[in-house]
Amino acid sequence: MTDFDGKFSEYTAIRPVISKGICLAIAIGNVLCACFSTIIYYLLYLQFVPIAVGVIAVVAGALIVHYFINKKSTKPRREPNRTARLRTLVDPNDKYQLPLIEKEVLSHDTRRFRFGLPSKQHILGLPVGQHIHLIATIDNELVIRPYTPISSDEDVGYVDLVVKVYFKDVHPKFPAGGKMTQYLEQMELGDKISFRGPSGRLQYLGNGTFSIKKLRKDPPKHVTAKFVNMIAGGTGITPMLQLVREVLKRNEKDKTQLALLFANQSEKDILLRDELDELAKKHPDQFKVWYTVDKSTEGWNYSVGFINDEMIGAHLLPANDDTIVLLCGPPPMINFACNPALDKLGYHPDTRFAY
């Protein structure tokens, strides 16, 4: 055993005695302080000067010990971070049962479903660019579908999904309709459904920087762009709106330029158009939106027909090293319309990302 070990052992042995002594001194000091002036007066009056001096010394010592012991506790306490909020999606592999608390009819086949989070202090906890999966057993079959909420982590206590319901016997190619969308349509308030996430290969980090995985298991790669083109079809608008909101929310800090080309079957099918138009009007130097529909009506001032190189060239930002293209929509639209047009205009495949 070293000399240090011996001294440490000695200190350990007498530490309880020291602690008790300090506590006793503090206690005596507190009592004496309470009636200090009276005690000193009578001691001096009775000419017990040495005792009076001793009392003063004890009180002074107790006050000094009390000061140093409580010095740390008198430092201002750090207030808890009041902006920190509880995340719902803690583990991307777990399922979270959330209740339907509100349903709004937006059009003949489009609904806004609002689901409640565990408390009014909870946020969903979904990074921009990511999505969730809804999971349900429908007709004895496990059905899993991806959705991007239109609400954000600025919203507390709920999450909103805008969903186009594919009813049966409406689309000739899909006579049975959409399993998950019809399931959502039939849900009653209070019914629960499983959420899982966050999921996705893209995440927006701010100021034009994206974290992108080419494949799901690949390590993420950071890509920075000054110009972001977005091409969406139908419900593919939801991840685009999520990004647009995030960039424009930071208007003074995030100078990323955004351009959106949005394709739909008809004007009445354009989801969230009012908000898109309002954002474009409010931020004309940073965000532009253009529409195209398969069938137009009188007074339609935008494009008609499938997306092509002329539309992209006229309404999106030009191809260069600082430009990326984000795509979300039906695979045939992306594979047979968008990608050939982008190739023709010189947008490199490495600068494209399809949700």
CB 213 within 8 A of CB 130: no
Q: What is the helix (H) or strand (E) element at residue 243, kind and residue range?
A: helix 237-249
Strand bridging mode 352-354 / 96-105:
unpaired
CB 297 within 8 A of CB 287: no
Residues 195, 197, 199, 203, CA torsion sign: positive
- Asked whether residue 238 is marked as a ligand-binding residue, the answer is yes
In the annotation, is 328 catalytic? yes
In angstroms, the CA 106 to CA 82 distance is 35
Candidates 181, 328, 351, 355; catalytic one? 328
Rg (CA), the chain: 34
In the annotation, is 338 catalytic? no
- Asked whether residue 167 is marked as a ligand-binding residue, the answer is yes
Q: What is the helix (H) or strand (E) element at residue 241, kind and residue range?
A: helix 237-249
Candidates 96, 147, 291, 355; catalytic one? 147
In the annotation, is 131 catalytic? yes
Q: In the 8-state DSSP scheme, what is residue 255? A: -
In angstroms, the CA 226 to CA 209 distance is 9
In the annotation, is 158 catalytic? no
Q: What is the helix (H) or strand (E) element at residue 53, kind and residue range?
A: helix 49-69
- Asked whether residue 162 is marked as a ligand-binding residue, the answer is yes
- Asked whether residue 282 is marked as a ligand-binding residue, the answer is no
- Asked whether residue 352 is marked as a ligand-binding residue, the answer is no
CB 248 within 8 A of CB 279: yes
Candidates 131, 204, 323, 351; catalytic one? 131
Annotated binding site: 145-147, 162, 164, 167, 179-180, 238
Annotated binding site for FAD: 145-147, 162, 164, 167, 179-180, 238
Active site (catalytic) residues: 131, 147-148, 328
